[in-house]
Structure 1
Amino acid sequence: MSQPRRALIAITSAHAPLYPEGKETGLFITEALHPFNVFQEAGFEVDLVSETGTYQPDWLSQQKEWLPDEDRKVWEDHSSEFRSKLDKLLKPSDIQADRYGLFFASAGHASLIDYPDAKGLQSIASQIYVDGGIVSAVCHGGAIFPGILDPSTGKSIIDGRKVTGFTTRGEEEEGVLATIQKWNRPTIEASAASSGATYVSPAGPWDAFTVTDGRIVTGANPASAHVTAEAAVKAFDGL
């Protein structure tokens, strides 16, 4: 059965103080925007969804070094397709999973907060996987995997798979590991291990890096959003 050439990008609906002066984490903009562009260029229809139908942008992701001018133009233009879909974000009850062949969890540290309990998003991703589609995540998006179950095994779809995601070393370098522990949330490395997956580290925390294992495609950090989406398209085209 051929998969629908439609991609669903999940967006975190959480936000919390993380940066100096209490500035907040939320959606890391380019981690959704770059995949959105890649999927569209590859001929996919693309929709955006969060667990509550709401989101807040991550403060760091709006700074010059993380949001190049070309991306900023799209982000600030409410009539751009990307921004207008963010402004009218869907929620899980709006989504028919069987209409999508690819699920992509974008991130931001905030996804560590809501993705582990995002039953609506998890159920959509699980359905897309069971139907033979691709499930992908970048950076902290992997926080969603422990709850995406394969009904035939009752285990996470990444059980026995190789995955990557944001490194614990990166959390230490950013000085945010203590905050994540205060949230009572595991790092991506820890949540991969708890799901029975083998975590594969990029050479450096900020290097573009992606891993494909069967129909699971993961990326390490914001710099990997583009290549991870490309790898997800390649996996999809190989179905």
Structure 2
Amino acid sequence: MTKRILNVVTNVGHYDDPSHPTGLWLSELTHAWQVFEEHGFEQTLVSPAGGHVPLEPRSLKFPSYGRTAKAWRADPARMALLENTADPDHIDAADFDAVYFTGGHAVMYDFPDSAGLQRITREIFERGGIVASVCHGYCGLLNTRLSDGSLLVADRNLTGFAWQEEVLARVDKLVPYNAEAEMKKRGAHYEKAMLPFVSYTVVDGNLITGQNPGSAKETAQKIAARLS
């Protein structure tokens, strides 16, 4: 049976201050997409509201942008996928073997309280499927509760964009909250690399997380290894 991946992307295009644009950090999608594609997995894009996905302008200039993101932007068919993402209410979690939350600061706004994404995540996780995130994508796991009412992230080892990295990226005054601190408040065992911005991943059972944009490929490889 072909394995199926649900890639989660954002609909938000700016911070609280509309003069500061944000959106999907494109390479966090494209690096993983390529890994999944090479394994023959079927892939679907979903966003909290469905439809259009804005791109983070900084992600198009950053060193981690890379070949896969450039190729995606040059392909009209691929770009069209970001105009027509699925609505969570139209997604049957039983159709997917893994859910992968991409990042970009935008997800801090629309991922945490999406009831549709929480339902999908809970259903995939509870039947032993893989729940994964990279960078700010872990904000999509902040408020997800399991059927017994417990938080999915409580007492679990994970990683995601570090507060130190927010400061170094000079967006610590723009972001709506400290995601690392919020994870710790929820009882997660947060880990990070010794150095900022290097690839770092954490595997805790069927929860697989990557720290930053440079971790997308490694995160996807670990997802693929589990599914294969």
Aligned AA for 1:48? L
Matches within 5 A, 1:30-179: 30-53=27-50, 54-63=52-61, 65-79=63-77, 82-152=78-148, 154-179=149-174
Contact 2:11 2:53 in 1 (8 A): yes
Tell me the amino acid that sits aligned with residue 192 of structure 1.
Answer: M
Correspondence 1:199-214 to 2 at 5 A: 199-214=190-205
Residue 111 of structure 1 deviates from its aligned partner by: 0.8
- Check 1:144–1:17 CA distance in 2 against 1; reply closer, same or farther (3 A cut): closer
Q: What is the rounded CA distance, in whole Å, between the counterparts of 1:155 and 1:14 in structure 2?
A: 28
- Aligned in 2, Cα 1:126/1:4: closer, same or farther, shift over 3 Å? farther
Is the aligned partner of 1:28 residue 2:20? no
CA contact (8 A) 1:105 1:137 kept: yes
Does the CA contact (< 8 Å) of 1:161 and 1:197 recur in 2? Answer: yes
Separation of aligned partners in 2, 1:216 and 1:197: 12
TM-score by length of 1: 0.88
The answer to whether the 8 Å contact 1:23/1:59 transfers is: no
| Structure 2 equivalent of residue 220 of structure 1 | 211
The answer on whether the counterparts of 1:35 and 1:229 sit within 8 Å (CA) in structure 2 is yes
Comparing both structures, which one devotes a greater share of its residues to helix?
1
- Is the contact between residue 115 and residue 143 of structure 1 (CA under 8 Å) also seen in structure 2? yes
Structure 1: 4+ residue segments shifted above 6 A: none
Equivalent pair of 1:18/1:176 in contact (CA under 8 Å): no
Secondary structure class of the residue paired with 1:47: strand
CA distance in structure 1 between the partners assigned to 2:190 and 2:213 by the alignment: 18
Whole-angstrom distance in 2 between the partners of 1:200 and 1:96 = 32
CA-to-partner distance for each residue in 1:39-93, whole Å, 9 max, x for gaps?
11112100000011132100101126342345312223112xx433222211112
Question: In structure 2, what is the Cα distance between the partners aligned to 1:91 and 1:174?
Answer: 31
* 1:121 to partner: Cα distance: 1.1
1:227, distance to aligned residue in structure 2 (A): 0.3
Single out whichever of 9-18 and 114-123 deviates more from structure 2.
9-18
Q: TM-score, normalised by structure 2?
A: 0.92
Task: Note if contact 2:31-2:68 (Cα within 8 Å) is conserved in structure 1.
Answer: no
Q: In the alignment, which residue of structure 2 is the partner of 1:194?
A: 185
Q: For structure 2, which runs of at least 5 residues remain unmatched after alignment?
A: none
Q: Given residue 167 of structure 2, which amino acid in structure 1 is its aligned partner?
A: E
Contact 2:98 2:130 in 1 (8 A): yes
Matched-pair identity in %: 30
State whether residues 18 and 24 of structure 1, in contact with CA within 8 Å, keep that contact through their aligned partners in structure 2. Answer: no
CA distance in structure 1 between the partners assigned to 2:24 and 2:207 by the alignment: 22
Unaligned runs of 5+ in 1: none
Code of the aligned partner of 1:207: V
User: Quick one: which amino acid aligns to residue 60 of structure 1?
Assistant: R
What RMSD over aligned residues (CA atoms) do the two structures have, in Å?
2.0
